[in-house]
């Protein structure tokens, strides 16, 4: 599992899945967290702004 402890690294690795992808439970959690149906109601400018924030973090 790729979860970070508070005492460990201070940066979150956006390229690694948060949950173990070798188990069904881990894959299901990853899917349900990364697919947010509320994004359907978000404007293009809000999505572009969020994308800019994530790219700046990387």
Q: How confident is the model at residue 11 (pLDDT cuts 50, 70, 90)?
A: confident
* pTM of model > 0.75: no
What does the radius of gyration of the chain's CA atoms come to, in whole angstroms? 14
Tell me what pLDDT residue 5 has.
52
Whether the Cβ atoms of residue 16 and residue 34 lie closer than 8 Å to each other: no
Q: Is 33 left (phi over 0), alpha (psi -120 to 50) or beta?
A: alpha
* 23 pLDDT above the threshold of 70: yes
Cα 31 from chain centroid? 10
Reported as a pLDDT band with limits 50, 70 and 90, residue 28 is: very high
Closest CA to 11 of 56, 57, 53, 52: 57
For 52, the token pair is 């800019």
Structure tokens that stand for 17 in this block: 């899945």
Least confident of 6-10, 39-43, 47-51: 6-10
């Amino acid at each position: 599992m790729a979860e970070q402890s508070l005492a460990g690294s201070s940066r979150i690795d956006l390229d690694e899945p948060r949950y173990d992808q070798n188990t069904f439970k881990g894959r299901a959690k990853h899917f349900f967290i990364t697919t947010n149906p509320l994004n359907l109601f978000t404007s293009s400018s809000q999505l572009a702004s969020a994308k800019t924030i994530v790219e700046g973090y990387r």
